[in-house]
Structure 1
Amino acid sequence: MAASRAARLAPVIEMAEKVERNAAQRLGHLQGQLQIAQGKLQELEQFRANYQEQWIKNGTQGVSGQWLLNYQRFLTQLETAVGQQRRSLAWHENNLDSARKTWQDAYARACGLRKLVERYMAEARRLEDKREQRLLDELSQRLPRSDGY
């Protein structure tokens, strides 16, 4: 009985393990996407720092009003790009957190189902052991005794 319950759960476990594998793959993919977004943000921030250093270097030599206006416009565009990339990074972090929670839930479900099957199998072994012991006890009672009576 317990063994058949365990057998009936096999397709459910397979499905739960497939869901867990898919969640793990998605988690891995999103971790990669987050790393790409972090890299882009670092690149933008480094570019902005280099651009500001150029301003300091050129500013000491004197610059025209037009150069200053162009510098300010481009710096504003860079700041906008950095802000957008930070929002993108936050979006990727939220997606990763959500995927991690989904994977953890799927992993816990698959583990719980495996433990349930193990419990059913252990119960089936115990029942089988009891049945065998009962049979052995019955057989030993039926055998003629050789203790002198």
Structure 2
Amino acid sequence: MAKQSTQTLTLLNQLAADEVEAAMQALAQAMQQLEQAQQQQVMLAQYQQEYEQQWQQVVQNGLKADLYRNFQGFFSQLELAVRTQNAQIEQCQAIVQQQRLRLQEKQRKQKSYEVLITRAQTSQAKAENKRDQKMMDEFASRARRARW
């Protein structure tokens, strides 16, 4: 019976290990998406800075009203893109945090199965030792009786 219990726990531990592996992969994917979003943010910020520099040069040289509106329209779209990217980064960071917590929970679950397996094996070993000791005592007792 104890052997079956250990086998069941071993199976559950393997399933938990599979869950840990899946959680690790999900965390890695979330971290990769966060990194990509951050890289896009850097590129947008650089582009925005370059555009502002161009704007400063054009303003110094003087500009027409329609060109001014075009610059302003594009600049507002660029600012919206930066804000959207910042929101996406925040969302990615939240997902990374969720995946970290999920991974920790799966690791705790697996660790608890490992502890239960160790306890079951220890208990099983004690029972076997006790049984062996009892058999040895009985054998020694019979041997003494046989001598007399």
Normalized against structure 1, the TM-score is what? 0.89
Aligned length: 146
Moved more, 28-37 or 99-108: 99-108
Moved more, 16-25 or 73-82: 16-25
Moved more, 19-28 or 5-14: 5-14
Cα separation, 2, equivalents of 1:144 and 1:122: 33
Report the residue type matching 2:124 in the other structure: A
Cα separation, 2, equivalents of 1:19 and 1:8: 17
Which stretches of structure 1, 4 residues or more, deviate above 6 A after TM superposition? none
The structure with the largest helix share of the pair is 2
Match of 2:101 in 1: 101
Q: Does 1:90 align with 2:83?
A: no
Identity of aligned residues (%): 26
Cα separation, 1, equivalents of 2:10 and 2:112: 13
Q: Does 1:14 align with 2:11?
A: no
Report the residue type matching 2:102 in the other structure: T
Match of 1:31 in 2: 31
Q: Gaps spanning 5+ residues in structure 1: where? A: none
CA offsets per residue over residues 9-65 of structure 1, 9 Å max, x none?
232222222122111111111110110011111110111011111222332233333
Moved more, 122-131 or 10-19: 10-19
Cα separation, 2, equivalents of 1:105 and 1:60: 59
Q: CA deviation at 1:73?
A: 1.0
Report the residue type matching 1:48 in the other structure: Q
Q: CA deviation at 1:5?
A: 1.1
Is the contact made by 2:9 and 2:116 (CA closer than 8 Å) also made in structure 1?
no
Normalized against structure 2, the TM-score is what? 0.89
What is the RMSD computed on CA atoms of the aligned residues?
1.8
Report the residue type matching 1:50 in the other structure: E
Q: CA deviation at 1:144?
A: 3.3
Match of 1:117 in 2: 117
Report the residue type matching 1:131 in the other structure: R
Cα separation, 2, equivalents of 1:143 and 1:4: 35
The residue correspondences of 1:68-79 to structure 2 (distance < 5 A) are 68-79=68-79
